Amino acid sequence: MKEMEKPSPEPASLETKKQRRRLALIEAALYVAGRPLSLKALASVIRTRSKKLTQRLARTLKEDYDSRNTSLEILELADERFVMQLKAKYSPRVQKLAIRPLLTIGPLKTLSYVAYRQPVPQKQVLDVRGHHVYGQLKQLEELGLITRERAGRTKIIRTTPFFADYFGLSHDLRAMKRQLKKVFGFEHKPKEKEKEKE
């Protein structure tokens, strides 16, 4: 008697299984990163060169999260990036459980000044923020949030791509400055002569 052969899986079910795996990998990548990821980064995780496929899958995952009643959301940002984050309405209740903030208020103010004014000479940052800023700039550089390049007798300070990713901002400098304007809540240029000592 001839042994019965197992029917081979339907191509459609194989495709569905492959898509579910890819969706799970994108979800895992966004969860682990904790910051916005580009389509290129997500494509490398699911091992494809197709940005179109990656974007379609990321949007499918975003729609899935939108339809759930969960505390997490997936957002599509500018520059074809996606991020998984906690919905704003849940932050006040759980904020105290988060690990210590990355930056205290002083370095954060220095970083925001640099981000809005970049590329900015280090001398200008010192004039505005005071000489206590040296330690803050060193800390920001060590965290990978800024770079300092020598230009004659001073240094020019800029934020890094990691800074944009960490704070969910555009990599395009003009777009980033527009986003920062909204965050800071002003439409005019900030006063440069104000020295703050935090």
What integer is the mean pLDDT of 114-118? 91
SS3 120: strand
Per residue in 31-55, pLDDT (tens digit) is 988 778 889 999 999 999 999 999 9
Strand partners, 38: 81
137-186 confidence digits (pLDDT tens):
998 888 888 999 998 888 999 998 888 877 778 888 888 888 888 777 65
105-184 has CATH 1.10.3720.10 classification? no
- CATH class of the domain comprising 12-90: mainly alpha
pTM for the model stands at: 0.56
Using a pLDDT cut of 90, give the percent of the chain over it.
35
Enumerate the domain spans of the chain.
12-90, 105-184
Selection from 69-78, 97-106, 120-129 with the highest mean pLDDT = 120-129
pLDDT of res. 195? 46
More confident residue, 12 or 44: 44
Pick the more confident residue, 73 or 102.
Answer: 73
Question: What token pair was written down for 160?
Answer: 């890094």
Candidates 17, 12, 80, 22; CA nearest to 52 is 80
